[in-house]
Amino acid sequence: METKPKRGFDRADRDDFTGSALLRLKAAREELKWLLDRGYSMDTAATFIGNHHSLTARQRNALKRSVSSTGDLQNRLKKLITPAEISGRKVLVDGFNIIITLETALSGSLLILCGDGVIRDLAGLRGTYHLIPQTDLAIMLILQSLESTGASSARIYLDSPVSNSGRLRQRILEISSSFQLPVEVILADDTDKMMEGNENIITGDSILLDSCISWINLTRDIIMGIEVDPFIADLSE
């Protein structure tokens, strides 16, 4: 019997991110944040804490994605705007970043609620991407949410070096044709470079959140509104 592909699925997650394992991760989160606030680098601090708590590679990755220094958190929250504030304005969307997180949610795979309020996945993108059955719904949810905000238009960036980025672009354009929202999809060698320093961005990328003028936590709003029950490990503050 053929099974539906699940973005970001790992069999061990139900053991490693629930119960006593989650409590241990929360303790590790506090220790990692303490070190970051005192100037330690993320890699050095995460390695030390991970070794101390005998964390798996995936648990360590979750810590690194969910924890930030107090200064970084305050900086991001200052720039956070509500969906209502993008009415009549163009938004910039970090395509793969948002679509993969929503595919992960729709697959019932692990998501992490991070200290900055962003929901992130552990699926990763290492140059290879394939459309899966959940892709169309992920795209539709993004477009529906953006259209409901009254945004004037959306520019979605996709990393051209990633496999099947052209196919994903075509699929986004096909689905967007049934919406009133004007949508353009840009293939670029370095999407981060094109998005950094801008306003009204939608992403879970920490580097972009630190460099932007303003951002919208739209992914979290979408995930909290979908009918499926997402698997979320809460590593927020």
| Strands 110-113 and 231-234, bridge-based pairing | parallel
Residue count of the chain: 237
Pair 62, 82 in one domain:
no
Which structure tokens are listed for 195?
A: 């998005």
Pair 103, 185 in one domain:
yes
CA distances to 4, 38, 77, 111, 225 from 103, rounded to whole Å, are 12, 36, 26, 11, 14
Q: Please identify, among 39, 67, 95, the residue that sits at the C-terminal boundary of a domain.
A: 67
User: Is the residue at 7 inside a domain?
Assistant: no
Pair 49, 97 in one domain:
no
Pair 210, 151 in one domain:
yes
How confident is the model over 57-78, as a mean pLDDT? 98
Pair 42, 18 in one domain:
yes
Where in the chain does DSSP place strands (E)?
80-81, 90-94, 110-113, 119-121, 153-159, 183-188, 201-202, 215-216, 231-234
- Per the structure, the complete domain to which residue 214 belongs is given by 76-234
Pick from 148, 146, 139: which is nearest to 100 by CA? Answer: 139
Pair 34, 96 in one domain:
no
Q: With H, G, I as helix, E, B as strand and everything else as coil, classify residue 71.
A: helix
**Domain tally, the chain:** 2
Q: With H, G, I as helix, E, B as strand and everything else as coil, classify residue 104.
A: helix
Q: Please identify, among 67, 91, 110, the residue that sits at the C-terminal boundary of a domain.
A: 67
User: Is the residue at 2 inside a domain?
Assistant: no
Pair 109, 197 in one domain:
yes
Q: Please identify, among 22, 40, 67, the residue that sits at the C-terminal boundary of a domain.
A: 67
Pair 88, 203 in one domain:
yes
Q: With H, G, I as helix, E, B as strand and everything else as coil, classify residue 121.
A: strand
Question: pLDDT tens digits for 100-145?
Answer: 999 999 999 999 999 999 999 999 777 789 999 999 999 999 999 9
User: Is the residue at 209 inside a domain?
Assistant: yes
Pair 52, 158 in one domain:
no
Determine the pLDDT at residue 53: 97
Question: pLDDT tens digits for 153-168?
Answer: 999 999 999 999 999 9
User: Is the residue at 191 inside a domain?
Assistant: yes
pLDDT at 230 over 90: yes
Pair 107, 46 in one domain:
no
User: Is the residue at 219 inside a domain?
Assistant: yes
User: Is the residue at 1 inside a domain?
Assistant: no
Question: Who contacts 67 (Cβ-Cβ below 8 Å, separation ≥6)?
Answer: 29, 32, 33, 36, 114, 115, 235
Kindly give the residue spans of alpha helices, DSSP state H, lying in 93-133: 95-106
Pair 50, 147 in one domain:
no
Dihedral class, residue 198 (left if φ above 0, else alpha if ψ from -120 to 50, else beta)? beta
Report the interhelical angle of 135-149 vs 165-176 (nearest 10°). Answer: 50
pTM for the full predicted model: 0.95
User: Is the residue at 6 inside a domain?
Assistant: no
Determine the pLDDT at residue 147: 98
How confident is the model over 27-47, as a mean pLDDT? 98
Let me know: does 79 contact 106? Beta carbons within 8 Å.
no
Question: pLDDT tens digits for 176-227?
Answer: 999 999 999 999 999 999 999 999 999 999 999 999 999 999 999 999 999 8
Determine the pLDDT at residue 3: 63
Pair 59, 89 in one domain:
no
User: Is the residue at 152 inside a domain?
Assistant: yes
